[in-house]
Amino acid sequence: MAGKRTVLTVQLRRLAALLSEMREQAGISKEVVSARTGINVTTLYRIETAQARPQRRTLTAMLDLYGIGEPQRSDAVQLLMEAQKPGMSRPFEAAVSEVYAAYINFETEALSARLFQTSFIPGLLQTERYAWAVLDTAMPKVETSVIEQRLRARVERSKVLTRDGNPLELWVVLDEAAIRRVVGGPEVMREQLLRLTEDTDKRNVILQVLPFGAGAHPAMVGSFVVLDFPDPADPELVYVEGIAGDDIVEGHNEIRRFGVMFDQLRAMALSPRDSAEMINEIAEGLR
């Protein structure tokens, strides 16, 4: 059942990294852990890669074997307790993929997001009518209730841009196709474009358009988001979207590659001011 999935969260990823580090510092192999605790090697691998959340007794057995004392022991237990709490994606997990559910949880905790989108307006900046048109077209054989759940997820996600104290810092590079493709009809599209110009007035939102005239670019294969987190213990990650599905990418070299790619895209794109002028011009043409 979809509701029984272990959906990735920042806390679960942090716990997995901590347990892997503790085992390595203790100089104990996975096979030895399995032999001494009864934890299956496959289960241990899944715990250390944040694919599974350990039970309290499993965590205790691991900490005992690794010789972990205070305060590290309490830190690990606290992380487990936090990882057991439902993430922001919980109400929508039946309607979204496991990867997308994990992304929603990470986005909620992120400090900033660098986003490139090829085909449509990013979910965080979509109006309700535009979002419905996108989902209804992309999921023609799906029940209306599922589309409604996904729509609610997008509405909830957008709150990160206006949350008190630390709103998400969002930098978007949009392919020109995304603002020229009329989704939902002229009225819906015009409303969406005007909403975009309003969003760019926010201090925490930067939007640039990558014009057709820029020619070939390094991200023609698809859209992606690079998330940064406030805690140094939480490394950056990349969420990649494509026709074949979505994925979360980790690893220093891969993250760096996407970061460089985004820098190239924003350098090729119009300035925020020129981008706003283009968006307004297109919106006026839809009257």
281 has pLDDT over 90: yes
Residue 250 vs residue 64, higher pLDDT? 64
Task: Please give the pLDDT value at position 246.
Answer: 85
Per-residue pLDDT tens digits for 77-112: 988 888 877 666 777 777 778 888 888 889 998 999
Domain ranges (residues) in the chain: 6-83, 90-284
Length of the chain: 287
Task: Please give the pLDDT value at position 262.
Answer: 97
Task: Please give the pLDDT value at position 88.
Answer: 67
The arrangement of strands across the sheet holding 169-175 comes to: 205-210, 169-175, 112-117, 223-228, 237-241, 247-249
| 223-228 and 237-241 strand pairing | antiparallel
Query: DSSP strand E in the chain: where?
Result: 112-117, 169-175, 205-210, 223-228, 237-241, 247-249
Task: Please give the pLDDT value at position 3.
Answer: 39
Per-residue pLDDT tens digits for 252-270: 899 999 999 999 999 999 9
Per-residue pLDDT tens digits for 128-152: 999 999 988 887 777 888 888 888 8
Task: Spell out the CATH class of 90-284.
Answer: alpha beta
Task: Please give the pLDDT value at position 6.
Answer: 60
**In the CATH scheme, what is the homologous superfamily, with its name and number, of domain 6-83?**
lambda repressor-like DNA-binding domains (1.10.260.40)
